[in-house]
Structure 1
Amino acid sequence: MTDRRRLAPIARVLGFAGLLPQAAAVAVLIFGGPDVRFAGLGLAYAYAALIFSFLGGVWWGLAAMARGLVPRWVWIAAVLPTLLTLTTAWRLATGSAWPGPSLILLGVFIAASLLVDLRLKAAGLTPEGWLALRIPLSLGLGVLTIAAGLI
């Protein structure tokens, strides 16, 4: 029987594999021609938006699995990634410059999500090894997303 408070080894492999789509989008932006530029930007945005929203779902799951009283801020933090992601789509919806500025903002949100992970750890809601995985993944995806917005 496995310890439910410890991350499964496959989480590390799949977590880092999750950086590959964004790295591929950045490679397309760097090495692809003008005919694939918008596709690369759109895919980079969509992937970052999906993963950031997914992270909120993970936080919700941590709260739901917790034994005892869960601080109210955890539930609020869990819905914020989806709402913040929606705000980054505003520029697309209104025909403003997109997706570069939205990618940069989304990348900052993803990197800043570490602040929530640190608080979750302090509240005792994360499994062993959580921050060792979350730090490189949030910083990695955040930097790749910002890079996509700047290229």
Structure 2
Amino acid sequence: MRQVRRTAFALGHAGLLPQMAAVAFALDRDRGTPLFALFYALLILSFLGGMWWGFAMRRADDPAQGRLALMAVVPSLVAVAILLAAFVTGRLDWALVAAGIALFLTLPVDRALVRGSDAPANWMRLRVPLSLGLGALTILAGWIAAH
């Protein structure tokens, strides 16, 4: 696993399309759109944790496996906390902003994976635009939902 290939780059970037559509529908005041945008952002956040888990499991004989496995469950726990807060408060706008920020905050872990040779050398070329793009689109959906 030395490089992320073109197909993975294309599929990764295609993953931005549902959130782009959600923002477009939100601009048209579709009431279900903020909830869809929140679910999608939290799904991807949990998916990132699953990828980190996979990297951790490759460290079978390494004592650092436990630390990386712990970091791998954090995105799902954050996703659940944001979802619960959204339902308790009824504030999808703030939940979307929190989800967008959480997506931004995945980047230091991704960078550490590259430094530790767990992730491919060009991992950040994939992860930076995807995390920043999805995070920004999610925050934009929250802003639209608030107005």
Query: TM-score, normalization: structure 2?
Result: 0.91
**CA drift at 1:14:** 0.2
- Equivalent of 1:93, from 83, 87, 91? 87
CA distance in 1 between partners of 2:36 and 2:130 (Å)? 18
**CA drift at 1:63:** 1.5
**CA drift at 1:65:** 2.4
- Equivalent of 1:29, from 26, 37, 43? 26
1:1-151 to structure 2, matched below 5 A, reads 4-30=1-27, 32-33=28-29, 36=30, 38-66=31-59, 68-69=61-62, 71=64, 72-94=66-88, 96-151=89-144
CA distance in 2 between partners of 1:82 and 1:144 (Å)? 20
CA distance in 2 between partners of 1:39 and 1:149 (Å)? 13
**CA drift at 1:8:** 2.4
Structure 1: tracts of 5 or more residues without a match: none
SS at match of 1:125: coil
Percentage of identical aligned residues:
38
Runs of 4+ in 1 over 4 A off after TM superposition: none
SS at match of 1:83: helix
RMSD: 1.4
Q: 1:67 to 1:8 in 2, by over 3 A?
A: farther
Query: TM-score, normalization: structure 1?
Result: 0.89
Task: Tell me the number of residue pairs that the alignment of Structure 1 and Structure 2 aligns.
Answer: 143
